[in-house]
Amino acid sequence: MADRSPVRSPLSRALWRMGLPLVWLAVVFVCAFGADVMPFPPPSDMDFAAAEQGPSLAHPLGADLDGRDVLSRLAHGARISLTVSLVAPLIGLVIGTVLGLLSAYYSGLVRTGILAVLDAMLAFPSLVFALALTVVLGPSVQNVTLALGIMSVPAFARIARANALPLMSREFVLAARTAGAGDAYIMFREILPNMVMSLLTYALTMMSIMIVAEGSLSFLGVGVPPPTPSWGSMIAEGRESLERVPHVSMIPAAAMFLTVLSLNLLGDSLRQLKSGKSGGLS
């Protein structure tokens, strides 16, 4: 008997695959930014009688080594991770896009100078660069966000430049130049709108990178200072007792993994949608 199951188009498959990542990200966002109004105990409250306790009615995800509620700390830590992952790529997106457009549109000293600065920044390993900036600026949410935002500028600039260069010779750009439009108008009204989707898709990928980077800095002790919880610091706090109380480290590690995976899957789906709309999805 012939299989009559409906055949999904690549476009519909991409839309369907966005469902689970969006559900998980929605849950994380609600928990992160609604943690203060949810029935969670304060993340710094210590219940020594419940220290190292596994999941229970009083502590649905257990308690850490000091008796602090893991669920409460996970939700408040998600706020830090999501704030950094939203604001840091935005810094890189704005500055990097401007630099990428300028280096693609102009030649001579402007292009040479911008590319030299970007190459110098790329010469340092990204995490080492962010680590050095954080040490210089001092540990705080704002400084970690600024350091990671600066770290992401070269990547966004390269994406913007790579997308802008083919557009420089397109008819609508030549027509605008012939009509006497200024350089700023051409760059930001003619070229930029045609590369927004590529930049936003990459921004989703960069958000996942920022979550891992912030977690790495907090794990190393130079990220968000205590007692403010973050996923990276929660993982670090439980690493010495991983065999005895694995939930202290494994639960925030799992939350970080699922969030990063969801952002990557969402970015892949958006890339497929972009390709499908342009006729390039096979």
Locate the domains of the chain by residue range: 19-29+68-277
Q: How many residues comprise the chain?
A: 282
- Written as one string, the DSSP assignment of the chain is ----PPPPPHHHHHHHHTHHHHHHHHHHHHHHHTGGGSSPPPTT---GGGTT--S-SSSTT-B-TTS-BHHHHHHHHHHHHHHHHHHHHHHHHHHHHHHHHHHHH--THHHHHHHHHHHHHHTS-HHHHHHHHHHHH-SSHHHHHHHHHHHHHHHHHHHHHHHHHHHTTSHHHHHHHHTT--HHHIIIIIIGGGGHHHHHHHHHHHHHHHHHHHHHHHHHTSSSPTTS--HHHHHHHTGGGTTT-THHHHHHHHHHHHHHHHHHHHHHHHHHHHHHHTT---
* pLDDT in the model for residue 30: 92
**Residue 266: Cβ within 10 Å count:** 22
pLDDT in tens, 78-122: 999 999 999 999 999 999 999 999 999 998 899 999 999 999 988
State the maximum Cα–Cα separation within the chain, in Å, rounded to a whole number.
Answer: 76
Residue with tokens 């280096």: 103
In this predicted structure, the answer to whether residue 144 has a pLDDT above a threshold of 70 is yes
Q: For all residues of the chain together, what is the average pLDDT? A: 85
Give the residue with greater pLDDT, 65 vs 188.
188
Distance CA 25, CA 33 (A): 12
In this predicted structure, the answer to whether residue 273 has a pLDDT above a threshold of 50 is yes
Name every residue whose Cβ is closer than 8 Å to that of residue 66 and which is 6 or more positions away in sequence. Answer: 46, 48, 51
Q: Which of 60-74, 115-129, 146-160, 218-232 shows the highest mean pLDDT?
A: 146-160
When pLDDT is cut at 50, 70 and 90, the band that residue 146 belongs to is very high
* pLDDT in the model for residue 10: 58
Whether 102 contacts 110, CB under 8 Å: yes
| Burial track 5-26 (b if 16+ CB lie within 10 A, e otherwise) | eeeeeeeeebeeebeebeebbe
Angle at the Cα of 111 from the Cα atoms of 206 and 104, rounded to 5 degrees: 60
Question: Mean pLDDT across the stretch 254-277?
Answer: 84
* pLDDT in the model for residue 1: 46
When pLDDT is cut at 50, 70 and 90, the band that residue 48 belongs to is confident
19-29+68-277 folds as MetI-like fold (1.10.3720)
Tell me the two tokens of residue 17: 């695959």
* Prior bond of 227 cis (ω within 30°): yes
Whether 198 contacts 167, CB under 8 Å: no
Distance CA 274, CA 204 (A): 14
* pLDDT in the model for residue 210: 92
* pLDDT in the model for residue 63: 84
